[in-house]
Structure 1
């Protein structure tokens, strides 16, 4: 499990949370992370760029970027 750098929630990241004994490679055919299905949301504010955010935090951030 990964830990959200923004709120501390635990979540699954397909890029970081490979099956036990296996390192993620990013090779074709591997399941992409859920975040790859969302619109790009970079740059992240402040120090948040250090690690991943959970689905709720990332979706919230994307919604705030789209707000007028």
Structure 2
């Protein structure tokens, strides 16, 4: 199965998700887990917004790349 096109729940940016691809896992699998998913229909965040969320929660070192999210 190939990556699917998604829209970020935070900023509206388009990005690709490979969570269902066992041969080439999604880019997010390389990042630390974030807070619990609030519901089964929760939407994914783009790489920029997910990284920002991790930095804001203290799970990753802070940088200045995420002003838009």
What interval of TM-score do these two structures reach, taking the shorter chain for normalisation? 0.5 to 0.7
Q: SS where residue 64 of structure 1 aligns?
A: helix
More strand by share: 2
Which residues of structure 1 form unaligned runs of 5+?
16-23
- The runs of 4+ residues in structure 1 deviating greater than 3 Å are none
Paired with 2:51 and 2:36, the residues of 1 have a C-alpha distance of 14
Which residues of structure 2 form unaligned runs of 5+?
60-69
More helix by share: 1
Larger radius of gyration: 1
Aligned counterpart in structure 2 of residue 10 of structure 1, from 6, 9, 14: 14
TM-score normalized by the length of structure 1:
0.66
Q: Using CA pairs below 8 Å that are at least 6 residues apart, which structure has the higher relative contact order?
A: 1
